[in-house]
Chains A and B, each alone.
Chain A
Amino acid sequence: MPSASDSWVSQIRKGVVEMAVLSLLAERERYGSEIVETLKSHPELAITGGTVYPLMARLKKSGVIDSSWRESPVGPPRKYYRLTATGRAQLSEMASAWHGVSKTIDGLLKGID
């Protein structure tokens, strides 16, 4: 039954993209294509530019992240994104919820391949 589990997996991915983006920005500020490339290097997330850029626009609009153009050491200026205070608070809430859920599920899944 590939269809049922596929849609379940894509639901999970959809739910965690935002958390993944916010955690990348919690580490340090990054520019758009850097975020896309870093997320792409984790194929299990199956994230593309088409998913990330609309998400960044939405996160900026809701005040979770902020952006500004900065000179780049190489080439033209780049638009860098960073977490706002709201974003940090949201990420830590998300992280604690995630750890709680994943710990419980891992426990329930014990013994299942």
Chain B
Amino acid sequence: MSLTDFNQLPAESAAAVAAYLDAVREALSDAAPALAGETVEDVTTHLLEALEPGDGINVVRAVLAELGDPADYAEAVDASAAIDETPAAIDARTKRVLGLPYEFRVPTAERVASRWWDPSNPHVFVPRVFGIGWDLNFGALAVRFGWIEPDAEDEPFASTPESAFMACLMLPVALFAFVVISYAVTVASLPTRLPVHWNLAGHADNWASAEWAFMPLALFAGLSTLWAAYSTVRDRPRLLRGAVTGFAAFLSGISAAVWALTLFTVAGVESVWLPPALILTSAFVAPLLVLTVLARTGRRAEIERDLRGARQQ
């Protein structure tokens, strides 16, 4: 004899069941909706079968105790789902609108960082940690280019020496310096209106005053570089520092590319391929370079540690 509805239980028992299901749902709020729904359904079915009409609170408590703590239960379900990295499983965990993946829960910085650099995941395009669309997994790119093994580092950048972090920080610093110094040097000879936008043919189609052309680029490059420097000084978690440095290289790279484009146009150099080549190169190559250097130096440090350990034995 089983239940068809929890209303067949006395009020106190029904409330205990409802509270348990709520706790499971709550504990799974971070999991994919499909997984959470399925799990709550499984627990519900189990309880309907295990209980009988009129079961008192003590019977209900015993049945619930057998299922265990709702948080542990949810964690076990989530962990078994986390192993499944097949495209279909990732797909099932991802929320979509009009076919585009989306996520609007504010992510932790660590989660963002682990999406951008995850060499163990072969997918180059990963669903955004925040917003609509995809992020680029630079780790998968580096693996495809043969620059690093998917399992080269135990923890990303954990063994990377400080000197490598400092060296990588120099890339956004250099790009920022290029923008500021080249502005300072050329500002006297620049026209009052500077190109700030280019059409698909590579011709400038919008202009602004020299200050307005320069300031936003300097701000993007400067603030992101400052953030990277700050996370280095404050000794934030390794993966986070790498990601922030990569992000600073990305923004400084774009700023430097747009500024270089401005100077090229002023000098009379225009071409169809120049805007996309400059911007794509700096936007993708700069962060890829930073993250790969951090991983390669971390890998080398791990190798040296292990080989030295083996020789001593």
Minimum C-beta distance from B97 to chain A (A):
24
* B107 interface residue (CB < 8 Å to A): no
Chain A interface: which of B182-190, B238-246, B305-313? B305-313
Q: Are A32 and B149 closer than 8 Å at their CB atoms?
A: yes
The reply to whether A14 and B83 form a contact with Cβ atoms under 8 Å apart is yes
Q: CB of B152 within 8 A of chain A?
A: yes
Q: Chain A binding site: helix, strand, loop or mixed by DSSP?
A: helix
> When A54-B83, A56-B151 are in contact, do A68 and B306 touch as well, CB less than 8 Å?
yes
Give bound CA distance, A17 to B83, whole Å: 10
Interface size class of B (residues with CB under 8 A): 20 to 34
Answer whether residue B154 sits at the interface, using C-beta atoms and an 8 A cutoff: yes
Residues from 85 to 128 in B contacting A, C-beta threshold 8 Å: 85-86, 88, 119-123
Chain B residues 125-159 with CB under 8 Å of chain A are 149-152, 154
Question: Is B303 an interface residue, CB under 8 A from the partner?
Answer: yes
- Within B23-78, the residues touching A (CB, 8 Å) are none
Q: Would you call B163 an interface residue if the criterion is a C-beta within 8 Å of the partner chain's C-beta atoms?
A: no
Q: CB < 8 Å: which of A17, A60, A70 contacts B154?
A: A60
* A residues less than 8 Å from B150 (CB atoms): 32, 49, 53
Q: How far is the CA of A14 from the CA of B79 in the complex (A)?
A: 12
Contact B86 A10 (CB under 8 A): yes
The verdict on A51 contacting chain B, using a C-beta distance below 8 Å, is yes
Q: Are B121 and A67 in contact (CB under 8 A)?
A: no
B151 touches A79 (CB 8 A): yes
Q: Is the CB of B151 within 8 A of A51?
A: no
Complex partner residue of B122 from A17, A18, A48, A68, CB under 8 angstroms: A48
B205 within 8 A of A: no
- Chain B nearest CB, measured from A18 CB (Å): 8
Asked if residues B122 and A49 are in contact (CB atoms below 8 Å), the reply is: yes
In the complex the two chains form, is B307's CB within 8 Å of A14's CB?
Answer: no
9 A-B pairs with least C-beta separation: A53-B120, A69-B306, A68-B306, A69-B303, A50-B122, A53-B150, A32-B151, A50-B85, A54-B120
* B residues apposed to A, CB below 8 Å: 80, 82-86, 88, 119-123, 149-152, 154, 302-303, 305-307, 309-310
Residues of chain A touching chain B, judged by Cβ–Cβ distance below 8 Å, are: 10, 14, 17-18, 32-33, 48-51, 53-58, 60, 67-71, 77, 79
Q: What are 8 A-B residue pairs whose CB atoms fall within 8 Å in the complex?
A: A10-B86, A48-B86, A49-B122, A51-B86, A69-B306, A69-B307, A70-B307, A79-B302
